[in-house]
């Protein structure tokens, strides 16, 4: 165990490498899993009130596709990797102490711990807040491209903060002999059970519509602390089931696309999901609510500007675009 997050070692931007990574990166290395991030963005759009809902719906395809851009950048852009997590355990204080005394303001934290510690331990909540302020400024300028860019990234960072293992240095179970638990919780479980989750705001679901959040900093830290509080159960139930079932029953080569990967068995995954008692679904629901509320709040904080008429990122296939170009 090096204590290094897998995405913390970064290199200069190289577009060919970026494209290669984007195409070839296994799902196991993605935060929340790509499909979960996209699902959260999609549902968050549906939770928005007008006129934001109409604007975001126009750009639904772009926002859903680009929900994972921040993860793709982790491999190529210096300073990106630390925005996706915060290892609160490395600050060595109790949950109670964290809630009451941990500096939520980035400048206060920098003064208390220093830049290098902040970067090494992750800057998730502070980075999300910076992105929130950029989104407010983009709404104020009615800058359509930047609204979309920052909304996509804010949604991603906020969703990552709802993943318990994004708040601990034992993010992949290496410290407790639970290697692979990261992708088990945030990728394998949602992939298998997402069809049973209630993630669409509306009459069939208790998921609330977006509401104005007066203190986005507090909201982001509450989400982070809630995630951190869930780390114990994420680890405990995996360890308990591994002990009960024995290693021979916990792992197998599972077909994923055209490859076979050694992962937890369906039997293990099902029992783990049951033991967690809806935890993954609840964290996804909370992600959707927080993302939509922060998008909406950024628009309110910008003075509720009239939304620009959509001019870019239209949901057009290449055939439609070619057709438009040929026959315009």
Shortest Cβ 30–Zn ion spacing (Å): 7
Q: How many residues bind Zn ion (CB under 5 A)?
A: 4
d(CA 16, CA 24): 12
Minimum CB–partner distance for residue 186 and Zn ion (Å): 10
Residue 116 CB burial class (10 angstroms; 0-12, 13-18, ≥19): exposed
Instruction: Please name the residue that has the structure tokens 């549902």.
Output: 43
As a three-state string, the secondary structure of 168-229 is CCCCCCHHHCCCCHHHHHHHHHHHHHHHHCCCCCECCECCCCCCCCCCHHHHHHHHHHHHHH
For the bound state, the minimum distance from the C-beta of residue 212 to Zn ion, rounded and expressed in Å, comes to 26
Interaction of residue 160 with Zn ion, rule CB under 5 A: yes
How many Å apart are CA 205 and CA 321, to the nearest integer?
A: 37
204 class by beta-carbon count within 10 Å (0-12 exposed, 13-18 middle, 19+ buried): exposed
- Written as six digits, the tokens of 5 are 């997050």
Which span (24-32, 174-182, 268-276, 297-305) binds Zn ion, by CB under 5 A? Answer: 24-32
**Candidate segments 91-99, 153-161, 210-218, 225-233, binder of Zn ion by CB under 5 A:** 153-161
The mark string for 62-101 relative to Zn ion (x by CB under 5 A, - otherwise) is: ---------x------------x-----------------
Interface of this chain with Zn ion, residues 201 to 260, rule: CB under 5 A: none
Interface mask (CB under 5 A) for Zn ion, residues 29-48, using x and -? --x-----------------
Whole-angstrom distance, CA of residue 309 vs CA of residue 320: 20
Nearer to Zn ion, 124 or 173 (CB): 124
State the DSSP H helix or E strand holding residue 15, giving kind and residue range, or none if neither.
Answer: helix 15-24
C-beta of 160 vs 301, nearer to Zn ion: 160
Take residue 23 and report the two structure tokens written for it: 């195409």
Tokens of 169: 């240095």
Site stretch for Zn ion (CB under 5 A), options 28-36, 49-57, 87-95, 205-213: 28-36
Specify the residue, 182 or 264, whose C-beta has the smaller distance to Zn ion: 182
Choose one: 25-33, 192-200, 205-213, 222-230; the region binding Zn ion (CB under 5 A).
Answer: 25-33
Q: What is the DSSP string of 103-121?
A: --SHHHHHHHH-HHHHHHH
In the complex, which residue's CB is closest to Zn ion?
31
Nearer to Zn ion (CB atom), residue 25 or residue 118: 25
- Per CB under 5 A, 5 contacts Zn ion: no
- In the complex, the smallest distance separating the C-beta of residue 46 from Zn ion, rounded to whole angstroms, is 22
Length of the chain counted residue by residue: 328
Give least dist CB 71 to Zn ion, A: 5
The answer to whether 99 and 221 have CB atoms below 8 angstroms apart is no
Q: What is the DSSP string of 153-170?
A: HHHHHHHHHTSGGGGSS-
Q: Binding segment for Zn ion among 5-13, 158-166, 182-190, 291-299 (CB under 5 A)?
A: 158-166
Nearer to Zn ion, 87 or 160 (CB): 160
If the CB atoms of residues 128 and 298 are measured against Zn ion, the closer one turns out to be: 128
Instruction: Return the SS3 of 150.
Output: helix
- For residue 146, the minimal CB distance to Zn ion (Å) is 20
> Nearer Cβ to Zn ion, position 52 or 152?
152
- The site for Zn ion (CB under 5 A) is made up of 31, 71, 84, 160
């Amino acid at each position: 165990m090096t204590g290094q997050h897998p995405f913390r070692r970064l290199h200069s931007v190289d577009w060919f490498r970026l494209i290669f990574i984007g195409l070839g990166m296994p799902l196991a290395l993605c935060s929340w899993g790509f499909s979960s991030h996209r699902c959260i963005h999609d549902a968050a759009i549906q939770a928005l009130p007008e006129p934001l809902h109409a604007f975001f719906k126009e750009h639904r395809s772009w926002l859903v596709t680009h929900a994972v851009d921040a993860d793709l950048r982790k491999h190529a852009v210096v300073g990106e990797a630390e925005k996706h997590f915060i290892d609160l355990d490395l600050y060595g204080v109790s949950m109670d102490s964290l809630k009451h005394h941990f500096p939520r303001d980035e400048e206060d934290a920098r003064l208390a711990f220093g830049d290098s510690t902040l970067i090494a331990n992750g800057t998730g909540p502070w980075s999300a807040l910076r992105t929130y302020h950029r989104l407010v400024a983009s709404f104020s300028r009615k800058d359509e491209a930047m609204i979309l860019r920052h909304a996509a990234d804010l949604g991603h960072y906020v969703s990552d903060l709802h993943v318990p293992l994004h708040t601990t240095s034992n993010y992949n179970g290496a410290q407790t002999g639970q290697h692979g638990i990261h992708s088990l919780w945030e990728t394998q479980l949602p992939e298998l059970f997402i069809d049973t989750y209630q993630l669409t705001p509306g009459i069939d679901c208790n998921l609330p519509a977006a509401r104005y959040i007066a203190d986005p900093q507090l909201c982001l830290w509450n989400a982070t602390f809630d995630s951190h509080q869930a780390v114990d159960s994420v680890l405990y139930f995996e360890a308990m089931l591994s002990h009960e079932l024995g290693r021979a029953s916990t792992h197998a080569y599972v077909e994923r696309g055209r490859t076979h990967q050694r992962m937890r068995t369906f039997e293990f995954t099902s029992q783990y999901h049951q033991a967690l008692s809806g935890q993954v679904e609840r964290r996804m629901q909370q992600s959707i609510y927080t993302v939509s509320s922060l998008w909406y709040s950024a628009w309110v904080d910008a003075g509720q500007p009239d939304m620009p008429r959509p001019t870019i990122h239209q949901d057009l296939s290449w055939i439609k675009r070619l057709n438009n170009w040929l026959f315009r």
